[in-house]
Chains A and B, each alone.
Chain A
Amino acid sequence: MKKVMKTLTVAAVAATAMVSANAAMAEGERYILVSHAPDSDSWWNTIKNGLALGGEQMGVSVEYRNPPTGDLADMARIIEQAAASAPDGIITTLADFDVLSGPIRNAVDSGIEVIIINSGTPEQAREVGALMYVGQPEYDAGFAAGQRAAGDGVSSFLCVNHYIAQPASTERCQGFADGLGVELGNQMIDSGQDPSEIQNRVMAYLNANPDTDAVLTLGPTSADPTIMALDQMGLAGDIYFGTFDLGGDIVQAIRDGVIEWGIDQQPFLQAYLPVVVLTNYHRFGVLPGNNINSGPGFVTADALDLVADLAGEYR
């Protein structure tokens, strides 16, 4: 309800703003953001907020769509559907090139501008005819994190993969392993999405492999239960702990010294910037000359206050 109210307010504000704005400006551009995330994934809230803010500031209407269960075949239908409603632009993730490239290319070919965010690679974005790619190259981010951990003396790790069906998740773990210079092997577990299951699996793995140096989680979904698991086992602050993405509990854990660093891919930018880019492209024909890397940014205990304030909302 809050969101509906917000949207209404935004629309009202936008409408008034538009009236006073330059009349030559094209009005009422419509952009649709399609993600691959299931409803249960709270990390995407930041994307929704960034999208709404972008829409509000630029005076365009924005919509957020996702497949309720995270089924990528359903996501392909959503992109087709979005294209059928003839928006000015589609902002979408490219979670599986095979499945999504067809619908995206169809949208591009029927005159809709597309920006790829979050998942996929800049090369794939170019191949489907998108304007640009805004995101964090997953393998590279994992690799950078792995190198950092290697510098801190880590030689074995556990990757808690809560979204095993998403190739990008596995790439993060693979990149981390390669950055460390070790084989991924059985160090990645399929944790599922349920918090207590994740917690139990992490505990089971660490009990079975007590000489594990580090834990890598792939987002709040796996990080929050892992924090609890480490607390319970008395390993919190003892074992080396890094995570992708931020969230309220992750920020607190970084502050508490439980988590060494969080890799912030700054999802806010992934939703906000495409809206700005698309709007300016449609209104003035201007376009940045390259892809935009929204991350990785390593967030550590230093300078955490702004992140802490806005974690889960804009950070």
Chain B
Amino acid sequence: MSNTGATVDERIKETSKLRKALIRPELGAIVGTVAVFAFFIVFAGDSGMFNPQGVLNWSTVSAQFMIIAVGACMLMIAGEFDLSVGSMIGFAGMSIAIISVTLGWPVWVAILLTFALCIAIGALNGIIVVRTGLPSFIVTLAFLFILRGFTIFFPQLIERRTIIGGISEAAAGDWLAPLFGGKVGGAFFVWLGDLGVIEVFSRGTRAGQPVVDGIPMLIIWALGLVIVAHIILTRTQFGNWIFAAGGDAQAARYVGVPVNRVKIQMFMFTAFCACVFATCQVIEFGSAGADRGLLKEFEAIIAVVIGGALLTGGYGSVVGAALGALIFGVVQQGLFFAGVESSLFRVFLGVILLFAVILNTYIRRIITGER
């Protein structure tokens, strides 16, 4: 920390490298991921958790968390929360169902309209937060209830029930739906099945076909979003603005960063992610329910925090959040394979969350030089 010019010595440089490696925001999540996998390989290694079906199962669940965690992560780095994510998932799914099944419009129209609607609601969230200066916690909490209420009200009003099915039939032959509900690599898995690498169905109409018949688009979306968001955050001007908006909005404004615009766009991105989640779910399962996405906002925030982001904003990593989502998914599904009573999942989750937050606080102290 000397500013006496050339006298900076080499030793400081060396420790700095070590420290630099240590203070990555993803560190906690990387350690956690390794620990979690080690744990389950030991305790659930032969339970089917690591056979193709098992892997697909926890990867799909993790990918779901990842999609919403990416949005929540970017928003949290920009210094805001969105508690309406879970309700947005239910709302978006219901919107697609009502437009495509009840109104009978093409599914691609339903999907595009729903994306537009969700992103607009995200923007509204953001505009209210930046205009009023209210904590996003409160504003989005309001939307948590508003959206959930509509999600129950509209289908009841229109169809007298709270689950609308029949989307699979409506989506048959649609050009956009497979982008969310389809699977890729089918031929590859058939080949693996023929080789006997993965199991095949032993009976029914699909006897002889592999039990895993492709990688769901959900996983492709998750990976795509993680990569794009990571590049935007770490490699672009806009990414720098996101950090700045969350780190210190006033300081960022003084140097000309359009903080309000950045925050509103992050709210819109979060809504977009929730909508991707909902669309994948609705197209895959063929129905929308009023209770979809309950508590998902907290699961997203937990994944982001496990991934090393600070609740106070300005610091975090998309890769970390993705690993946080992976930990979340693997623990949730893995405890089952390990034969642990399912109610203990919450205990594990709480413990992991606590450790993650403590570790992150420690890391931030190192970064900011607080002691």
Contact = CB atoms under 8 A, between A and B. Distances in A.
Q: Do A and B actually bind?
A: yes
Interface of A: 3-4, 39, 63-66, 68-73, 76-78, 80-86, 96-99, 102, 105-106, 108-111, 129, 164-167, 170, 184, 190
Interface in B143-176: 152, 156, 160-163, 165-168
A170 B162 contact: yes
Given A81-B333, A110-B202, A165-B290, 10 more contacts: A68-B342, A70-B294, A71-B291, A72-B291, A81-B337, A85-B47, A86-B48, A109-B202, A110-B201, A164-B290
B198 to A, nearest CB: 11
Contacts of B204: 105, 108-109, 129
A85 B337 contact: yes
Contact of A83 (B53, B160, B291, B333): B53
Task: Report which residue of A3, A73, A96 has the largest number of chain B beta carbons within 10 angstroms of its beta carbon.
Answer: A73
Nearest to A1: B341
A68 B57 contact: no
Contacts of B285: 73, 76, 98-99, 102
A81 B61 CA distance: 10
Contacts of A80: 53, 56-57, 60
Contacts of B34: none
A109 B295 contact: no
What are the 9 tightest A-B residue pairs by CB atom distance, in nearest-first order? A98-B287, A165-B291, A109-B204, A84-B53, A98-B165, A84-B54, A109-B201, A85-B48, A99-B285
Contact of B345 (A4, A64, A68): A68
The main secondary structure of chain B at its interface with chain A is loop
Contacts of A68: 342, 345-346
B165 A81 contact: no
Interface residues of B, number: 51
Task: Report which residue of B57, B61, B337, B339 has the largest number of chain A beta carbons within 10 angstroms of its beta carbon.
Answer: B57
A69 B201 contact: no
B292 interface: yes
B47 to A, nearest CB: 6
B292 A65 contact: no
A71 B339 CA distance: 22
B341 A3 contact: yes
B202 A164 contact: no
Task: Report which residue of B205, B287, B343 has the largest number of chain A beta carbons within 10 angstroms of its beta carbon.
Answer: B287
29 contacts: A70-B291, A72-B291, A72-B292, A81-B54, A84-B48, A84-B49, A84-B54, A84-B57, A85-B47, A85-B48, A85-B337, A96-B289, A98-B165, A98-B287, A108-B204, A109-B204, A109-B205, A110-B199, A110-B202, A111-B202, A111-B203, A165-B290, A165-B291, A167-B161, A167-B162, A170-B160, A170-B162, A190-B152, A190-B156
Contacts of A164: 152, 156, 162, 290
Given A71-B293, A84-B53, A106 B211 contact: yes
Contact of A66 (B49, B163, B337, B342): B342
Contacts of B361: none
A76 B285 CA distance: 9
B217 to A, nearest CB: 15
A77 B57 contact: yes
Task: Report which residue of B53, B199, B290, B343 has the largest number of chain A beta carbons within 10 angstroms of its beta carbon.
Answer: B53
Contacts of A106: 201, 211
A80 B59 CA distance: 12
Contacts of B13: none
A222 B346 CA distance: 26
B37 interface: no
A55 to B, nearest CB: 14
